[in-house]
Structure 1
């Protein structure tokens, strides 16, 4: 491994994971290069779960951070969804046998002269051997709560397909096509699967190469939209994003009542507002970093608020009851407590799992709520806007 690869496994080239954004805004690739990496709890959990999935597939002992019961079950559901993909393929190809080729492998798309254009990292790659044919199957885990594009429309998955085909060629293997699957254990329903024959593989190669080349153009244009800016790290310094935020502030027309806006104008306002919110969050994040580093005269980071939480209620009650036995009774103390239902869900699920290994987080949660119905109350938050297909 050279020094560049050690610090940047992508070697400064576009990555398949960003192709959905780069197809919409090719200029974001160059802008993001100058932006620092951003971390989040969701990203950290995704990294952890991907590593655990790799361990499940390879059978290696797990030596990483311990997972919660919910996270373990999430990975087990991902494995069941993967099994469902295999069963689907076997129905179409009786006698199919699956061999794991590699996990979490990053490969580069190269032309005949060895020039690399982009890279991609699949989560799992299988060879599918059938009595009269053979295929490849690439899988990508998505542990987020927001449903991503289906396998047929997913640009990241499409960009992985030529990489799989090129690996086949380099390994002197001949297959009749590539299955590509998106597995989302937090989303209801089966995995999404697409099949690429020779013609579809060629089309995926042409489309993905076009995205990579457009992104690497130093003069590539930038097109701001809610979808394109959603995960872009450069939106806080992007002129086009700032212009869209300004447009959101000036969206009022000659009519001064929302009811007079047309449906299309309302949709435009809604999407502009969502983009403006993400731009504001990104700008605030970058500003706080600079203030913390002492780069903004006249500003400083104030101290965070200190909170205190009783983590041992039993011990706390014993101590207080010993001091004030007539006032801090069990009933009075219980009236000061609020049960964390998430933690109680985990505790009860562990008990249900011990009694019935097939118990799921959902079934344990439903059982607990039925049992405690008379001791608590349920509240339903407002729903969120979801765009439906036209």
Structure 2
């Protein structure tokens, strides 16, 4: 049986890590400075590029490489099929009008194929996916460029599908994780809720590729538990949200510091795709009014319009939060990275 030390060492050597800590690719909360700090501390930095144009992707990677030559993960969402009808836009607009008038509509979103081209051209260590898998030609291009593909999965059938499609690593996302659910089917994402404690060992037993654990891991205890369950590394997001390099909204940061596990909820109020966020008055209003947010990406566009209209009552940022977010500390990201592994090693006796 493979030991924890053997598993972690093999994974770390393969991906150029000194510590088996990966920064989660948090779109909107992953500036280059954060990724640099994590990579320079021996982990893997990351960028969530779902909202980024090819030019912005190139600029982000340039800024990262000015600060670090360490490992880097770049992430994209696999696009959903277009929603039926208006995707719920009319009802969602009617609800949002209670907050005032919208601003100008946004321009067209980035083109997925062009984003993929930009990621491959940037040459990160890893290109990752969420909400599905890349098609076979894209996987071939990624591998031909010497880049690994990490695929996020929230259930065993998704993990097996990702492995069959050529994923080098599967990122097991538990229901505890902050931010968007990675479930392949957008409707199933609202009911697929496997906890990390149950998900990781099942994937580790069933897969031949390494498993990275993510969701509710905010200190060394969580790291040690995930590695004991069969993961080869961990990916953490909420643990870095309060780091000065992340630079999130001060109200959001303060709320994270006071958040109980039950303070975060799954909501479609920000983008139309389910994600775990703090139960702010804006998020709760959608439930209390019994109005369904529009489907992705319609809801994301609508929320952007009302934010540009500076509508009071609409959260100015998406207040994502994992269930263990209160354990996050307002310390430098490099300190957090090293402390996560130091504490885990002590607990594991490594």
TM-score, L = length of structure 2: 0.25
Please identify the structure whose Cα radius of gyration is greater. 1
TM-score, L = length of structure 1: 0.23
Higher RCO (CA < 8 A, seq sep 6+): 2
